[in-house]
């Protein structure tokens, strides 16, 4: 019998990735790299890159797997040359998240999980918290990307 929690999380990741795909759409590189409120804000390229990499890391954490390779600082320096590579990244990482979570049926969601942060500190949470964080973090950044697209189109 399928795990309804895994199914719901996978649907939420698909929905978040779909929101990112719509935000990226057919925008030119200039729009994908535009920072709506100046240099201290994030572009659609940064939001999509960071959101999908973080989702993959948190899904692996929830599943009890070693963290995948990641360059968090690089995520926040991402620059898109156009929509195609960004869409490929979203699709590829969404598929990886699905592959990570699919075999997790029967997981004990109260199992403690840990991962080392970039600063060396340890992040601790239950498997359930890691999974919820994965989907809510993705949703938040996907919505930010959608709003940034709206602002870009409104100013044109």
Domains of the chain, CATH where assigned: 4-155 (1.20.120.450)
The answer to whether 14 and 90 are in contact (CB under 8 A) is no
pLDDT tens per residue across all 156 residues of the chain: 578 999 999 999 999 999 999 999 999 999 999 999 999 999 999 999 999 999 999 999 999 999 999 999 999 999 999 999 999 999 999 999 999 998 887 889 999 999 888 888 998 999 999 999 999 999 999 999 999 999 999 997
Nearest to residue 90, comparing CAs of 23, 7, 9?
Answer: 23
pLDDT computed for residue 1 by the predictor? 59
pLDDT computed for residue 132 by the predictor? 97
pLDDT computed for residue 53 by the predictor? 98
What is the residue whose two structure tokens read 């960004």? 86
82's CB contacts (< 8 A; 6+ apart) are 28, 29, 32
């Amino acid at each position: 019998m399928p795990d309804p929690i895994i199914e719901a999380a996978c649907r939420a990741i698909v929905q978040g990735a779909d929101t990112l795909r719509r935000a990226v759409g057919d925008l030119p590189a200039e729009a994908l790299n535009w920072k709506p409120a100046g240099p201290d804000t994030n572009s659609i390229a940064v939001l999509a890159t960071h959101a999908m990499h973080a989702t993959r890391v948190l899904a692996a954490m929830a599943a009890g797997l070693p963290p995948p390779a990641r360059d968090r600082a690089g995520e926040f320096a991402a620059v898109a040359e156009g929509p195609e590579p960004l869409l490929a990244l979203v699709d590829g990482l969404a598929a990886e998240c699905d592959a990570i979570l699919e075999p997790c049926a029967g997981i004990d969601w109260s199992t403690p999980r840990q991962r080392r942060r970039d600063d060396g500190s340890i992040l601790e949470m239950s498997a359930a918290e890691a999974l919820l964080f994965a989907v809510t973090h993705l949703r938040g950044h996907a919505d930010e990307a959608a709003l940034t697209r709206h602002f870009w189109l409104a100013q044109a």
